[in-house]
Amino acid sequence: MLVGIVKESLSGERRVALTPHVLGNLTKIGLEVMLESGVGEEAGFPDSEYTELGAKVALSRSEVFSQADIICQVRTIGANPEAGASDLDLMRRDQVFVGHCEPLTDVGPITTLAKTGVITFAMELMPRITRAQSMDVLSSQATIGGYKAVLLAAHTLPKMFPMMMTAAGTNAPAKVFIVGAGVAGLQAIASAKRLGAVVTAYDVRSAVKEQVESLGGKFLEIELDAGESEDKGGYAKAMGEEFLKKQREAMTTAVAESDVVITTAAVPGKKAPVLITAAMIEGMRPGSVIIDLAAERGGNCEPTRSGETVKHGGATIIGPSNLPATVPFHASQMYAKNVATFLKEITNEGELNLDLENEVIKGTMLTRGGEIVHAFAREVFGLDPLEPETASSDSSGGETEGSKD
């Protein structure tokens, strides 16, 4: 089988779906690779590194689409509906697409993708099971996001992060408050501690206290009845508005005392919960910084605007979009490892092998035969259930406040 890699068409997307370091693994399982010329250049991988390992360079993008059995992308049309629309006429029925799909955000692009008849695997829907950890793109890319959020905050804050004792006096360390101790939050805690900050974190799941403390952070205890705060897959559940109101009130002091706040909370298929209100931000010191990693899903902070930097009171609120793409070399390497491992799951001796008894395949298959086949996606979009033999998984996906590693 031939696996194709094409350039990402979304503006600012610098990652590549497969990097040279995974080609040997693909060859071992009977797969060949064809790439669009220049596919990895922005991430730091020239064509020569691919061809040295046996990959072929296509004459055009259309050649990759016409010959490849499987197309691997960082962003399929589901996650890139406008720029990706130009690829629709290049797709073939039963051709396989693997990548980010935004499978629970907007039914329009997913329906368009389904109508082409292609088989689409949404990597965001990877089941949170031990066997699938090496394929979990949400965790790998959230790690990048949590790290880069701290660097962005340190660059913006008019203070230094570490305590410094100098002849000119002692500078107190910056105080950083992390909201959400999922993958991104835990990496943010570790990165902020490495830079010398005093770090406090909060998560609706008190069970993550040990993880926070193991990284050198202090866990903020909020004595509230959170009830069942996570679902069977380990994701944080959307809580009731009354709980969220009490939670925001309890966090007001922590926010006011912090120089930096980094928020990471999201719930699959829903708008991100607003955890930091405008009034809370008004209590922060002038020069304080908020990095809202949920900005693309509406934001955890009331004034957040996705892709923009705004001022509120004396604080600067940054709503970054696509932070992993700003560290494209390592983000691509990690993503490629996830995808290459997944390709091994859906093939056998160089042939496509879509065993729907396999929970990884069943859990990630989004479209097939002209239909959206993922049961949870259909539920989110208000579509009638399919017959059991047609439907895919009922598992949900998404980086959340309570995501597991």
Is residue 400 over pLDDT 60? no
Reported as a pLDDT band with limits 50, 70 and 90, residue 233 is low
Burial label for 139, CB within 10 Å (0-12, 13-18, 19+), is buried
At residue 240, the pLDDT reads 61
Contacts with 382 (C-beta within 8 Å, 6 or more apart), sequence order: none
Query: Across residues 93-119, what is the average pLDDT?
Result: 96
Is residue 231 over pLDDT 90? no
CATH of domain 2-136+328-380: 3.40.50.720
Vertex 401: Cα angle to 109 and 314 (nearest 5): 95
Is residue 111 over pLDDT 70? yes
Query: For the ranges 1-10, 84-93, 271-280, which has the lowest average pLDDT?
Result: 271-280
Q: Is 247 a residue of the active site?
A: no
Q: Is 73 a residue of the active site?
A: no
Is residue 52 over pLDDT 70? yes
At residue 403, the pLDDT reads 42
Q: Which of 87, 136, 203, 292 is catalytic?
A: 136
Q: Is 248 a residue of the active site?
A: no
Query: Across residues 237-256, what is the average pLDDT?
Result: 76
Q: Options 3.40.50.720, 3.50.50.60, 3.10.580.10, 2.60.120.260; which CATH number does 145-325 get?
A: 3.40.50.720
Q: DSSP characters for 265-286? A: ---TTSPPP--B-HHHHHTSPT
% of the chain exceeding 90 in pLDDT: 84
At residue 242, the pLDDT reads 72
Hey, where are the domains in the chain? 2-136+328-380, 145-325
* Domains 2-136+328-380 and 145-325 fall in the same CATH topology: yes
Reported as a pLDDT band with limits 50, 70 and 90, residue 1 is very high
Mean pLDDT of the chain: 91
Contacts with 338 (C-beta within 8 Å, 6 or more apart), sequence order: 123, 134, 135, 136, 137, 140
| Per-residue pLDDT tens over the stretch 145-172 | 999 999 999 999 999 999 999 999 999 9
Query: Across residues 228-233, what is the average pLDDT?
Result: 53
Is residue 247 over pLDDT 50? yes
Match 């009354």 to its residue by tokens: 242
At residue 270, the pLDDT reads 83
At residue 320, the pLDDT reads 97
Query: For the ranges 101-110, 236-245, 252-261, 391-400, which has the lowest average pLDDT?
Result: 391-400
Q: Is 133 a residue of the active site?
A: yes
Query: Taking the CA atoms of the chain, what radius of gyration do you get in angstroms?
Result: 22
At residue 266, the pLDDT reads 86
Cβ contact 114:374 at 8 Å: no
The model carries a pTM of: 0.90
Q: Which of 139, 141, 191, 332 is catalytic?
A: 139
Q: Is 136 a residue of the active site?
A: yes
Please give the Cα distance from 273 to 222 (Å, whole number): 17
Please give the Cα distance from 113 to 171 (Å, whole number): 55
Q: Which of 14, 15, 75, 128 is catalytic?
A: 128
| Per-residue pLDDT tens over the stretch 170-179 | 999 999 999 9
Reported as a pLDDT band with limits 50, 70 and 90, residue 250 is confident
Q: Which of 62, 133, 206, 229 is catalytic?
A: 133
